[in-house]
Amino acid sequence: MKRIITALLLIGAAGKVCAQSHQANDTQAAKFVKYYNANRPDSIYTLLSDAGKAKVPLTGVTSAVTQLKSALGNLVSHEYYQPVSNGGDSYVGVFEKSGPVFYISFNKEHKLTGFFTNVDKRIAPGAVTINVPGAVLKGTLTVPDTAGKMPVVLIIAGSGPTDRNGNTVSMDMRPNTYLMLADSFKQKNIAALRYDKRLVGQSTATKSQAQTTFEDVINDAVACIKFLKADGRFSKVIVAGHSEGSLIAMLACQQEKVDGFISLEGAGFPLDEVLKQQIQTSSPAAYNKAAPVIDSIKAGQPIKQKLDADFENLFGASVQTYLHTWFKYNPTAELAKVSVPVLIVQGTTDIQVGLADALSLKRSRGDIRLKIITGMSHILKNGPEDRRENAATYFKPNLPLHSELMPALLNFIKNIK
């Protein structure tokens, strides 16, 4: 992506210095993010130092904010980065869209001295980069501190802009499911790789969202499997796909040999059928509008009717190619082509994927293991029967994984020969 702003302001070097209390500048950084997301460049201008105001007029700040929001969206999070040599502090903000991050600096008088976009220079423990044709995937490889070889689990995320931790930050949905899985595996001397899907989080791609196909994300998963197989620390590679990731994983396992496959709340029917069923269950009136749209996308035909606002995210132009290439796969038929040991895990209070899906998947092969967990939701945690209360748990980051989940996964991995 073309770099929009190399530096709007940069007064004083940004070198690292001795850490001091940055509480006051934390408050200023929070104000900056609030003003930016509210599209208030005039308020951002009031945060500038006198030197900054002399260098850049309000029109310059307004233009910069307009360009950034158009190309990268709002800031979904920010954190303290490091002290800078003018006695101040710098912060890193993460945009809605993948790509560069936002560096924001304040001086010791708590005045804004600079903000600019650049590549993310933070080095997180276990950070890995996997280059694939047309994309750069960023992930986290969690490896326990233990002697000898160990199993490793590749965690493949579910649908939507879900990041390596299992969060959809643009919707403030942060269940931390995949982060918890990785940490739980580490405690049992099992490594785990989780990654941001292309165009999500820190992962980038040359194709736009509207050009991305289901085959692209399958190829990304295959590249991750190869990455793990090339690492001599691992004794066996198991692929665990959650929700949409279940289908991606089983298709990747057909292309690249692994030692085991785990389907976590994976659909057992083609997506067009699943979507129709979900919409009909929630709103019969909406189903009458959605069904012809789904049929058009499946056939690769233009959508003639105008989409309601509620359907724009589901069926808008930016996702139609992806959906069209996804609709053609039948998970149950594809799982029959996977030759390695398989475990299907299904919760009884999943409001997105039902027990019928798990049973359909199990019928694809006679030797597949099925674990049904009473009271487990789609995000692999305790979930109430009530749909509204269940959905509310998606926004509770500290809710632990269901107590029966890890024992089932560990037993499966242990018994893979």
> What's the gap between Cα 364 and its chain centre?
29
* C-alpha to C-alpha distance for 212 and 298, rounded to whole angstroms: 16
Residue 8 reports pLDDT greater than 60: no
Exposure pattern of 250-282 as b/e (b: 16+ CB <10 Å)?
bbbbeebebbbbbbbbbbbbbbbebbbebbeee
**pLDDT score for 309:** 79
- Of 3.10.450, 2.60.40, 1.25.40, 3.30.460, which CATH number belongs to 9-118? 3.10.450
Q: Are 41 and 58 in contact (CB under 8 A)?
A: yes
Residue 372 CA to residue 342 CA, distance in Å, equals: 14
Mean pLDDT of all residues in 320-330: 96
Residues 6+ apart with CB under 8 A from 23: none
pLDDT tens digits along 184-224: 999 999 999 999 999 998 899 999 999 999 999 999 999 99
DSSP SS3 for 172: coil
Report the pLDDT averaged over residues 351-380: 96
Structure confidence at residue 17 as a pLDDT band (50, 70, 90): very low
Percent of the chain clearing pLDDT 90 (strictly above): 74
pTM: predicted TM-score of the whole model, two decimal places? 0.80
The verdict on domain 127-270+329-414 having CATH code 3.90.1150.10 is no
Host H or E run for residue 202: none
Q: Which of 215, 263, 206, 210 is nearest to 240 (CA)?
A: 263
253-305 pLDDT, tens digit per residue, is: 999 999 999 999 999 999 999 899 888 888 888 898 899 999 999 999 988 88
Residue 5 has pLDDT above 80, yes or no: no
Q: How do the domains of the chain map onto residue ranges?
A: 9-118, 127-270+329-414
